[in-house]
Amino acid sequence: MGSPSRRLVLDGLLVALGLAVHQAEAALPPLLPGVKPGLANVFGLVAFVALGWRDAAAVTLLRVFLGGLFSGLGLAFLCSLGGSLAALAALILLGRFVPDRLSLEGLSVAQAGAFNLAQLLVVALLLGSWGVALPYAPLLATSALVTGLGTGLLARMLLRHPFLATSPLPGGSCETERRQP
């Protein structure tokens, strides 16, 4: 991606943009109970493709922790942290080991699914019962398809920006060669 200064600037920009979108989404009512678009996840996905998994982890976790500091470190923060860790795991595993078989949008849908599954797990663990969390599984699975696709499309559009021109996305799949730090 060029110089370390450029990488640091891009990481900072992605964290700031992700945090702004995170805060804006937190102020909006959910689309459906427990469902938000997850647009802040675009910036971690962009970091992964443009800079690599370490930068994606840094951008995502900084956004989650700063968002938690601004919004409060309650249940929403725990769900966001658990979901983000699962989404990062899906991103790193799938993006590194099957990049030629998965489009950016497919990778984003997998992230959204992992995020939602981890949120259910966090809620079930905190409440000590799957009875409250499990009924939301079909709704969250469906929302992962829709929001993941939207997030992937937005990430693809952002990756075409001239500032990120050193990391183009040829075809429709992710390329690990461009993401290695």
Task: Decide if pLDDT at 166 tops 80.
Answer: no
Choice among 30-39, 79-88, 120-129 with the minimum mean pLDDT: 30-39
| Percent of the chain whose predicted confidence (pLDDT) is above 90 | 54
- Whole-number pLDDT of residue 2: 62
pLDDT of 4 higher than 90: no
CB 55 within 8 A of CB 4: no
Judge whether residue 180 has pLDDT over 70: no
Note the pLDDT tens digit of each residue in 97-138. Answer: 887 788 999 999 999 999 999 999 999 999 888 888 888 889
* Architecture of the domain made up of 4-164: Orthogonal Bundle (1.10)
The confidence band for 177, taking pLDDT boundaries of 50, 70 and 90, is: very low
CB 3 within 8 A of CB 169: no
Mean confidence (pLDDT) of the chain: 85
The domain locations on the chain are 4-164
Q: Residue 171: pLDDT above 70?
A: no
Each residue's pLDDT tens digit, 11-26: 999 999 999 999 998 8
How much is the pTM?
0.84
Query: Given a cut of 60, is residue 169 above it in pLDDT?
Result: no
Residue 15 identity: V
